[in-house]
């Protein structure tokens, strides 16, 4: 379970890429910010602060007042219990001189190492292919102690580099560190097999689970040639998420109503088919009928001589309000948070699987009515609806 609330910090704008990770951390008592009411997202996160974040996710276990590092000797310091816990569990071993250096800004590779060891204590699968680091030109600058952890972190999408580089010895900001923690928690929640049991900081309604099923063979991509997914299409339905899921399987013969993902009103995400398969959610053909791609209002879709399902990933948002034409398209805050995380997740997976980096904007993240306006109601009434919050979702996705 992962609970959300709007961030209370004035320096964490609602539409910032780090808002949702900070809001998650605040809602789950992982961070309270500073005494002046700010969060200071661009400030460096210190080693003591990051260990404290991990300790709070773990439920703040007590470990006594034994002094384990010469520079962490005051039980009144906010990080004392967290550092003791981290030393006892093997999450940190400190430095060779017997210090922990709690006020030192943490580096990206140190952060990854602590998260890697933390993940192991939670039962997560921390294996990763050697090739996971080979995408980055500066992989050789990773310190020997951090190679295994950076391999895991990049393979799981927790660390995604900056400008195509790992920058392992660069410091991490407070916003970046919580974003990496948020990605780890979401990865575990979205893929339950990656942790047993999965960490559950706090409580709430924002539950992620993944149902990857053996979809009918008719949905497999056949002879797709050079086509790889490079666009994301958003849909809405006035019905429930379960109804959308059921319809996806029941109507697999026509393949007109299936999605890759369905997002419920409370933010729960269900994956129906893998990204490597077509979901046939966009209902286009290459003919001249009303469902043909030639009627698309999107220039890329209109110019491509193939079914749009061959290069798109579909997300269906359930519980959108009805209108005479289709739905109002207005989705809940939980769905906005979920949609932003999911789009970032899809973008990473496309890069990981196909080596393709797609920008996230209104040219690549489009509505169903831009694909087949003749069969989804005339704009602006067509799916996903005139009130759908495109900007609220896209602005939160870190490029």
We report the CATH number of the domain holding residue 268 as: 3.40.80.10
Q: What percent of the chain shows pLDDT beyond 90?
A: 38
CA–CA distance, 203 with 158 (Å, rounded to integer) = 22
- Two tokens, residue 192: 């339950």
157 and 249 both lie in a single domain: no
Residue pair 121/196 in contact (Cβ under 8 Å)? The answer is no
Are 166 and 254 in the same domain? no
How sure is the predictor about 4, in pLDDT bands with cuts at 50, 70 and 90?
low
If asked whether residues 246 and 144 sit together in one domain, one would say no
Q: What is the pLDDT of residue 144?
A: 94
One domain, residues 148 and 227: no
- Across 76-90, 192-206, 241-255, 364-378, the highest mean pLDDT is recorded for 76-90
Q: Quick one: 34 and 111 in the same domain?
A: yes
Residue 161's CB is within 10 A of a number of other CB atoms, namely 16
Asked whether residue 325 carries a pLDDT value surpassing 60, the answer given is no
The answer to the question of residue 326 being in a domain is yes
Q: Are 21 and 2 in contact (CB under 8 A)?
A: no
Determine the structural domain holding residue 42 and report its residue range.
19-194
Q: Is pLDDT above 70 for 13? A: yes
Q: Is residue 357 part of a domain?
A: yes
Q: Looking at the 3D structure of the chain, how many domains does it have?
A: 2
Residue 280 lies in a domain: yes
Residue 162 pairs in a beta bridge with: 165
pLDDT, one tens digit per residue, over 98-123 is 999 999 999 999 999 999 999 999 88
> CA 397, CA 347: separation in Å to the nearest integer?
10
Average pLDDT of the chain is 81
Question: Same structural domain for residues 187 and 228?
Answer: no
Q: Give the model's pLDDT for residue 250.
A: 58
Residue 193's pLDDT is: 43
Residues 254 and 346 in one domain: yes
Torsion sign across C-alpha atoms 28, 30, 34, 35: positive
For the segment 240-253, what is each residue's pLDDT rounded down to a tens digit?
A: 888 887 776 655 44
Q: What pLDDT is recorded for position 46?
A: 96
Report pLDDT digits (tens) over 162-214: 878 889 999 999 999 999 998 888 776 655 444 333 333 332 233 344 443 44
Mean pLDDT, rounded, for 149-162: 88
Q: 186 and 242 in one domain? A: no
Which one has a higher pLDDT value, 257 or 8?
8
Predicted local confidence at residue 91, as pLDDT = 95
Q: Note the pLDDT of residue 211.
A: 41
Residues 301 and 170 in one domain: no
């Amino acid at each position: 379970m992962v609970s959300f609330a709007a961030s209370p910090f004035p320096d964490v704008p609602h539409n910032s890429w780090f808002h949702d990770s900070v809001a998650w951390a605040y809602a789950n008592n992982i961070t309270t910010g500073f005494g002046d009411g700010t969060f200071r997202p661009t400030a460096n996160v210190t080693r003591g602060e990051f260990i404290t974040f991990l300790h709070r996710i773990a439920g703040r276990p007590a470990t006594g007042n034994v002094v384990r590092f010469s520079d962490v000797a005051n039980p009144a310091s906010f990080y004392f219990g967290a550092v003791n816990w981290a030393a006892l569990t093997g999450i940190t071993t400190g430095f060779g001189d017997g210090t922990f250096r709690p006020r030192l800004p943490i580096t990206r590779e140190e952060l990854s190492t602590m998260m890697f060891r933390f993940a192991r204590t939670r039962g997560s699968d921390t294996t990763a292919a050697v090739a996971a680091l080979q995408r980055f030109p500066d992989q050789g600058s990773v310190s020997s102690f951090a190679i295994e952890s950076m391999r895991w972190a990049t393979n799981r999408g927790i660390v995604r580099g900056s400008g195509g580089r790992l920058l392992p010895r660069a410091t991490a900001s407070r916003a970046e560190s919580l974003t990496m923690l948020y990605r780890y928690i979401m990865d575990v929640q979205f893929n339950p097999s990656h942790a047993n049991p999965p960490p559950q900081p706090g409580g709430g309604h924002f539950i992620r689970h993944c149902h990857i099923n053996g979809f009918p063979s008719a949905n497999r991509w056949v002879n797709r040639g050079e086509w790889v997914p490079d666009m994301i299409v958003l849909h809405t339905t006035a019905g429930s998420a379960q109804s959308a899921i059921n319809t996806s399987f029941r109507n697999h013969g026509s393949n007109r109503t299936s999605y890759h993902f369905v997002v419920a009103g409370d933010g729960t995400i269900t994956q129906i088919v893998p990204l490597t398969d077509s979901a046939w959610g966009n209902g286009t053909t290459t003919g001249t009928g009303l469902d043909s791609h030639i009627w698309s209002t999107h220039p890329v879709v209109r110019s491509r001589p193939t079914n749009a399902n061959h290069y798109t990933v579909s997300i269906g948002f359930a519980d959108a309000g009805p209108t005479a034409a289709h739905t109002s398209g207005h989705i809940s805050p939980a769905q906005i948070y979920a949609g932003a995380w999911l789009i970032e997740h899809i973008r990473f997976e496309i890069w990981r699987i196909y080596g393709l980096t797609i920008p996230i904007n209104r040219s690549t993240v489009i509505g169903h009515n831009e694909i087949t306006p003749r069969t989804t109601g005339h704009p602006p009434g067509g799916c996903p609806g005139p009130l759908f919050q495109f900007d609220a979702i896209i602005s939160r996705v870190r490029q």
